[in-house]
Amino acid sequence: MHQLPPGYKLRRVNSSDFDAVIKTLQVLTTVGDVSQAKFDEILEYWEQTRITIKGNQVPAYNMFVITDDADRAVATGTVLIEKKIIHCGGLVGHIEDIAVSRDQQGKSLGRMMIEHLTTYAHDLGCYKVILDCSDENVGFYKRCGYLKAGVEMSHRL
């Protein structure tokens, strides 16, 4: 089993994570012009977007961060819960935007984030949790218990 380094925590994202989250996400892709106000607006939208599961209204968007011993977010990950008709009106978890700061590699933070999001989604009742990755990352996700399920196709204008 993997364990967070001393002083590190895994928790839901909040407004005070703005700087560190933006910096961490830049490892992944272009973040672009996102101000503190825009960040807060997105977190507020995520918080308000609810899904009723077993009588409880829970957030459909679930972004978590791993913070270091200075409470700085150094890893991020989100699981979005989708409500379907198929599989008896089943739920599917979509894992999105997994990022780990470059100076924090080798501590298994990505692995712990994936395991947390996967368990979180299954605990909510998701019959499956899916994600898209590059060919190079297939081995990593297999070690996290994932199996190849298909091909991701993308359309951009």
Window contacting a copy of itself (CB under 8 A); options: 4-12, 67-75, 105-113, 136-144: 136-144
CA–CA dist 70, 34 (Å, integer): 23
Window contacting a copy of itself (CB under 8 A); options: 1-9, 65-73, 102-110, 130-138: 130-138
- Whether the Cβ atoms of residue 49 and residue 59 lie closer than 8 Å to each other: yes
Which member of 14, 42, 72, 116 binds a copy of itself (CB under 8 A)? 42
Contact between 19 and a copy of itself by CB under 8 A: the answer reads no
User: Shortest distance, CB of residue 3 to a copy of itself, whole angstroms?
Assistant: 21
The tokens 């991020």 sit on which residue? 76
In this structure, what are the phi and psi dihedrals at residue 60, rounded to the nearest 5 degrees?
Answer: -75, -35
Structure tokens at 87: 């599989």
Which member of 20, 65, 80, 124 binds a copy of itself (CB under 8 A)? 80
The tokens 């590190």 sit on which residue? 8
Kindly tell me which of 10 and 51 has the beta carbon lying closer to a copy of itself: 51
Contacts of 156 (CB under 8 A, 6+ apart): none
CA–CA dist 122, 142 (Å, integer): 17
- Whether the Cβ atoms of residue 53 and residue 124 lie closer than 8 Å to each other: yes
Contact between 94 and a copy of itself by CB under 8 A: the answer reads yes
Contact between 56 and a copy of itself by CB under 8 A: the answer reads no
Residues that bind a copy of itself (CB under 8 A): 21-22, 25, 28-34, 38-39, 41-42, 45-46, 49, 51-52, 60-61, 80, 82-90, 94, 96-97, 118, 122, 127-135, 138, 141-142, 144-157
